[in-house]
Structure 1
């Protein structure tokens, strides 16, 4: 989907770019998912049946957790056994 930008907005962006950017400010996290540690997390793909996904989602809802939170907790619990 194309984004409409006015001539004024383009001039503002160009002026900002010509003046330079504060790198510390650019690196500051704001939007997006929060980090989970000092290093970036990796995505791991797991294949589940529809029944397994339904059971996982049902349990996550009962525990007021996301699917990912529940899976991470289950792994952490298994690791610390």
Structure 2
């Protein structure tokens, strides 16, 4: 929907998914949807809102964003 410029439909589904993921505690899905929404807003030329949405993604736990550095800081990976 984003790449076919169906922004109204894409925005509707992003908002629906975000509501559901927030209430169910699914930060990985939430981060993915927020990233898609930020990309859609960028394509629409709404750069300020896109930046705000992208920053919201950064407030989620590191694991939700695909970062693995949390493992090193928490001692999950130990040096040999």
TM-score relative to the length of structure 1: 0.25
| Structure with bigger RCO (C-alpha 8 Å, 6+ apart) | 2
TM-score relative to the length of structure 2: 0.26
- The structure that has the greater radius of gyration is 1
